[in-house]
Structure 1
Amino acid sequence: MAPRAIWKGILKVAEVTCPVALYTAASTSERISFHTLNRKTGHRVHRQFIDAVTGKPVEKEDQVKGYDRGDGDYIMLEPEEIAEAIPESDKTLDVATFLPCDEIDDLFFDRPYYVTPSTPVATEAFALIREVMASREAAALARTVIFRRMRSILIRPHDAGMIATTLNFDYEVRPVESAFDDIPKLKIEGEMLELAEHIIRTKAGRFDPKAFEDRYETALAELVKAKIEGRKIKPMKRSEPAKVVNLLDALRQSAKPGKSGKSADKPSAKAEPRRKAG
């Protein structure tokens, strides 16, 4: 079944317009999912909203959103009030500026979407915009409403199409200082630094997403299969806790032939992906 577009509208660059569609690029629908059951009957159970004070069930028509001003003092917001406050979508991806593809730190990246022309007549304009952006290694920064929220979107050329990535707003990204301020500044030099550099060189590789296995999902699939087949479930073998060793000794041990795994001129397909520093 062909994927369904989550958004359709107009990509606008100055006076050039192009009808486009956005498709979800990353999905969790293939993951194993479970229902909550009543152990005694085997029947599914359903969630119910209960009044925190009276303990009585609250029907859907009696449920409203509330903003906590503190100490349990809530401001009630009716669905109609929220709907009127949300920006109306004009279905336009209006490009505000172009910038280098690597200009934005990936800390701000939220969700990726595939961008394609939504009609046959849009193909030429789409190809023109994509090719010019690719030739200049440029990305477009635009804004639109998706799922009733105003979003900033980074659009980059990719293969025959483009990738649109919704961006986190500045207030949604925690300041890097809040995580790193307590890390002491140390000067690493001499044999320790040389050994660490050697290990990185010998483990150099390229990112291949197919080389990474979701071991949690694989274990769940095997568990479900064993239950269906009536097989005895074998507990996973737990790895021994790592021994605390002297850092320099650990580096020396890691740098020994046969410990690094790969030589520098044979990149490993299973190298860990790199992310920008914050």
Structure 2
Amino acid sequence: MASRRPYWSGYLKLSLVTCPVAMTSATSEAEKVRFHTLNKQTGNRVVSRYVDSVTGKPVKENDEAKGYERAEDDYVILTDKDLESVELETVRTIDIEKFVSRESIEWIYLETPFYLTPNDKIGDEAFAVIRDAMKAENVLGISRVVLGRRERAVVLEPRGKGIVVWTLRFGDEVRPEKDYFKDIDETPDADARTEIERLIEKRTRRWSADMVSDPIQESLLKLIAKKKRALKSSKKPSRPHGGGKGSNVVDIMEALKRSVSKELKSRKSA
């Protein structure tokens, strides 16, 4: 198994069956082009820091705290110790509470995917039992887990030898589609629909990750490579006069000098 640092580690639990697991992000933006903010006058990086909004003075990291605004400019300060005191059991355990049919969850509720794998060889069998039982019943598991100090609803989907964990948007985060689609009442022309169906059939392909390549990313990489080449050529040391064979001319002159010097020494000795 590929060695990647897990995003979260804990236990997967279903009734009396428990096993240690690790959760790793299923997506990555590590290959994306990243920019730093620079001072274009000096070429140096610009550093951001927290500043007191009233005094204008920089705030030390040890003096930073979470604050809940109860009135304008009036905050309740919460320390790390305060936040740790409200940790839930789901901080370290994914306890599958219920199951739903695979087709019943609408895609709009799915948010961020993670790969869930056994975190210890001892737990492989228990993990496999839970995974294969869900496959056999064609169901998804519903649970909760704390990620980034926030309890998230998650759905567990068995896939291949592992399980994919999707964080779910809460019900009040998804806007009802009827509020946006209710005024669409046009009935399409039958002939036009037939032509579009033919076009769809003609353009239908098997899914491939190549279908969602990032053209902006590719263009940026080409632009950066071009600028790198320009910088390299501008930094090349100038060659001595004599065209492309300048380095050979220098070598020959040095050899001639050494030869003459050697000959003069031998004459003096004689």
Match of 1:260 in 2: none
Q: 1:120 to 1:63 in 2, by over 3 A?
A: closer
* Correspondence 1:250-265 to 2 at 5 A: none
Q: Residue 26 of structure 1 aligns to a residue in which SS?
A: coil
Could you tell me how far apart the structure 2 residues matched to 1:85 and 1:131 are? 35
Letter in 2 for 1:154: V
Q: Residue 19 of structure 1 aligns to a residue in which SS?
A: strand
* Correspondence 1:28-177 to 2 at 5 A: 28-68=29-69, 72-80=72-80, 81-87=82-88, 89-177=90-178
Q: Is the 8 A contact 1:87 1:149 kept in 2?
A: no
Shift in Å, 1:86 = 4.5
**Residue 185 in structure 1 maps to residue 188 in structure 2:** no
Letter in 2 for 1:36: T
Q: 1:68 to 1:196 in 2, by over 3 A?
A: farther
More helix by share: 2
Q: Residue 200 of structure 1 aligns to a residue in which SS?
A: helix
Match of 2:197 in 1: 197
Q: Is the 8 A contact 2:12 2:18 kept in 1?
A: yes
- Tell which deviates more after alignment, 139-148 or 87-96: 87-96
Match of 2:19 in 1: 18
Shift in Å, 1:63 = 3.8
Q: Is the 8 A contact 1:31 1:217 kept in 2?
A: yes
When the two structures are superposed, what TM-score results if normalisation uses the length of structure 2?
0.76
Could you tell me how far apart the structure 2 residues matched to 1:64 and 1:19 are? 33
Q: Is the 8 A contact 1:108 1:167 kept in 2?
A: yes
User: What's the CA shift string for 1:72-113, capped at 9, x where partnerless?
Assistant: 444232324444345354511111111112221111111111
Letter in 1 for 2:202: T
Instruction: Show structure 1 runs of 5+ residues with no match.
Output: 232-278
Could you tell me how far apart the structure 2 residues matched to 1:9 and 1:63 are? 29
Shift in Å, 1:151 = 1.3
Q: Residue 112 of structure 1 aligns to a residue in which SS?
A: strand
Q: 1:191 to 1:154 in 2, by over 3 A?
A: same
Letter in 1 for 2:66: K
Larger Rg: 2
Q: Is the 8 A contact 2:21 2:116 kept in 1?
A: yes
Match of 1:227 in 2: 227
Q: Residue 37 of structure 1 aligns to a residue in which SS?
A: coil
* Correspondence 1:200-215 to 2 at 5 A: 200-215=200-215
CA-atom RMSD, angstroms?
A: 2.2
Identity of aligned residues (%): 32
